[in-house]
């Protein structure tokens, strides 16, 4: 765009939409002074009254598609969430020559390639800084700050709800289970009424998809992300991990491995044991952090609030101002799915060390049966402890060497067929720095 006045339309006046409105109310003059750009809010699209927001000086439409067709709007800000209507809205705005700014990670992870192609054809931009890690400018850091690097890996805590639950479960003296902490998080607004997107890892997978695409120059590969959440973790696992010198965090991991004729990419989100001294072990509550391993810059880390009205609004307006200043055009993302020099590793081929917890009846020979099965599947034991030995049932904690996912899964299947076990085997991967 590169003009002095930027005419904005905002669709959706929920948490983020009202945050953008509030930030505009206080910062418009500051933004003009620093950047020379005046942001003029032309129209708001919302389908119900919002008595908490001052809408007296802006046109309001109940039909958000009015904004996509309004010739006086240069940039449409999509903050309604969801994927179906949001996609139709964004495509309509693009076809009418508007730039789009969105905070919608699901929309970008699932439909981004189609939207980017449409934007490139129309000569406009789709920007989405707010979609990953809220107030942290991680998209800008990867896209611009580290653009001269080959990025080797990304490792991050990118779901604040999961991190809040895990740090609460581990808090000294708390002793609350996953379900108890989740219920408290829902009461205090840190978790949604339907928490499944967060606690089953899907939200983190959306964000990792976006980060990996930018970092490695790939089309968006949401359906290839190995996705596990935190809903099955127990207080026992948190306590045993602590005794072994680890913390449990829900991580997003993207890694590339070069071979002479091909690059292999790992994409996974899952809970992990990380050493207590690891920087990410210090990230607590709803905070987010992303570490990036790059060949020239080395390791860098980005930390801050991953959600909330004001941090997310800050990222939304940064994109708006970037477009208004004429930065970043044309659309740059990687939508060419013919890139065959990359192979996304299937889950069976991923390698990691593991924490195993086995509930077993305390019978003669049980330890020998367990260790024989592991060794038959090339799983070496790095450490082994027996817990709760005074009871007739006991728990065996095992740390394994690095082993292929396929081998450890076969070993677990065979262990679970033993009638010595009192419950399914709990398996949590170990992750170091750099992630391996
Ligand atoms: N909250 C955060 O901290 C955060 C952080 C980063 C990214 N995001 C992303 O930002 C987006 C918005 O999140 P949010 O937390 O602001 O959600 P929210 O509080 O639920 O707000 C969404 C708003 O959009 C409105 N809306 C939905 N469909 C509409 C339609 N067809 N026509 C008119 N209005 C419609 C809703 O109206 P009703 O109230 O009438 O349903 C609601 O006011 C999502 O994509 C989310 O993933 C959020």
Domain ranges of the chain: 5-131, 138-306, 350-430
Return the CATH class of domain 350-430. alpha beta
CA of 166 to the centre of ligand 1 (A): 26
CATH of 138-306, one of 3.40.47.10, 3.30.360.10, 2.60.40.10, 3.30.365.10: 3.30.360.10
Q: How many CA atoms lie within 13 A of 291 on its CB side?
A: 18
Length of the chain: 436
Q: Please report the pLDDT score of residue 261 as a whole number.
A: 83
Q: Please report the pLDDT score of residue 338 as a whole number.
A: 57
The CATH T-level fold of domain 5-131 is Rossmann fold (3.40.50)
Q: Please report the pLDDT score of residue 299 as a whole number.
A: 97
Q: Which residues of the chain are under the pLDDT cut of 50?
A: none
- Rounded Cα–Cα distance for residues 240 and 402 (Å): 20
CA of 155 to the centre of ligand 1 (A): 28
Q: Please report the pLDDT score of residue 259 as a whole number.
A: 85
Task: Tell me which residues have their CB closer than 6 angstroms to ligand 1.
Answer: 12-17, 45-48, 64, 79-81, 85, 103-105, 130, 134, 307-308, 312
CA dihedral 64, 160, 435, 350 (to 10 degrees): -70
CA of 15 to the centre of ligand 1 (A): 7
Q: Please report the pLDDT score of residue 176 as a whole number.
A: 93
Active-site choice (105, 207, 257, 387): 207
Q: Ligand 1 pocket test: which of 9, 10, 11, 14 has the largest number of ligand atoms within 8 Å of its C-beta?
A: 14
- Rounded Cα–Cα distance for residues 381 and 17 (Å): 52
Q: Please report the pLDDT score of residue 329 as a whole number.
A: 55
Q: Are 359 and 393 in contact (CB under 8 A)?
A: yes
Q: Ligand 1 pocket test: which of 10, 13, 15 has the largest number of ligand atoms within 8 Å of its C-beta?
A: 15
> Structure pTM?
0.95
Q: Please report the pLDDT score of residue 336 as a whole number.
A: 66
DSSP-assigned beta bridge partners for residue 301 = 291
DSSP-assigned beta bridge partners for residue 406 = none
Q: Please report the pLDDT score of residue 175 as a whole number.
A: 84
Structure token digits, residue 254: 């993207």
The protein residue with its alpha carbon nearest to ligand 1, atom 39, reads: 14
Q: Is 207 a catalytic residue?
A: yes
5-131 and 350-430 share one fold: no
Which segments within 103-225 are labelled E, that is strand? 126-127, 151-157
Q: Please report the pLDDT score of residue 288 as a whole number.
A: 98
Q: Please report the pLDDT score of residue 99 as a whole number.
A: 97
The protein residue with its alpha carbon nearest to ligand 1, atom 8, reads: 103
Structure token digits, residue 126: 């789709």
């Amino acid at each position: 765009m590169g003009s002095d006045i930027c005419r904005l339309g905002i669709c959706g006046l929920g948490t983020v939409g009202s945050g953008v409105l509030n930030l505009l109310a206080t910062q418009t003059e500051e933004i003009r002074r620093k950047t020379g750009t005046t942001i003029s809010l032309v129209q708001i699209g919302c389908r119900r009254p919002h008595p908490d927001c001052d809408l007296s000086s802006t046109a309001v439409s109940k039909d958000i598609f009015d904004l996509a067709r309004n010739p006086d709007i240069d940039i449409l800000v999509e903050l309604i969430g969801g994927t179906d209507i949001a996609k139709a809205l964004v495509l309509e705005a693009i076809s009418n020559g508007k730039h789009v700014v969105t905070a919608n990670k699901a929309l970008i992870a699932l439909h981004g390639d189609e939207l980017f192609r449409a934007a490139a054809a129309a000569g406009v931009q789709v920007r989405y800084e707010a979609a990953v890690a809220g107030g942290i400018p991680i998209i800008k850091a990867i896209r611009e700050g580290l653009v001269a690097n080959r990025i080797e890996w990304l490792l991050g805590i990118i779901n604040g709800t999961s991190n809040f639950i895990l740090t609460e479960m581990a808090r000294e003296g708390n002793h609350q289970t996953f379900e108890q902490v989740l219920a408290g998080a829902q009461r205090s607004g840190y978790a949604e009424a339907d928490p499944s997107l967060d606690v089953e890892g899907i939200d983190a997978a959306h964000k990792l998809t976006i980060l990996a695409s930018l970092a490695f120059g790939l089309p968006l590969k949401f359906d290839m992300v190995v996705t596990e959440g935190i809903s099955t973790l127990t207080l026992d696992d948190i306590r045993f991990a602590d005794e072994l010198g680890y913390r449990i965090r829900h991580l997003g991991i993207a890694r590339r491995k070069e071979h002479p004729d091909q690059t292999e990419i790992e994409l996974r989100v899952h809970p992990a044991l990380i050493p207590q001294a690891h920087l990410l072990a210090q990230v607590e509550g709803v905070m987010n952090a992303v570490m990036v391993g790059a060949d020239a810059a080395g390791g860098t880390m980005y930390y801050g609030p991953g959600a909330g009205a004001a941090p997310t609004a800050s990222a939304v307006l940064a994109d708006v101002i970037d477009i208004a200043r004429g930065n970043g055009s044309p659309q740059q993302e990687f939508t060419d799915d013919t890139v065959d020099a990359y192979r996304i590793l299937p889950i069976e081929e991923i390698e990691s060390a593991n924490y195993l917890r086995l509930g077993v009846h305390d019978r003669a020979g049980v330890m020998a049966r367990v260790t024989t099965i592991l060794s038959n599947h090339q799983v070496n034991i790095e450490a082994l402890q027996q817990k709760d030995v005074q009871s007739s049932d006991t728990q065996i904690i095992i740390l394994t060497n690095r082993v292929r996912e396929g081998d450890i899964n076969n070993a677990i299947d065979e262990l679970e067929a033993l009638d010595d076990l009192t419950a399914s085997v709990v398996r949590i991967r170990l992750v170091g720095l750099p992630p391996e």
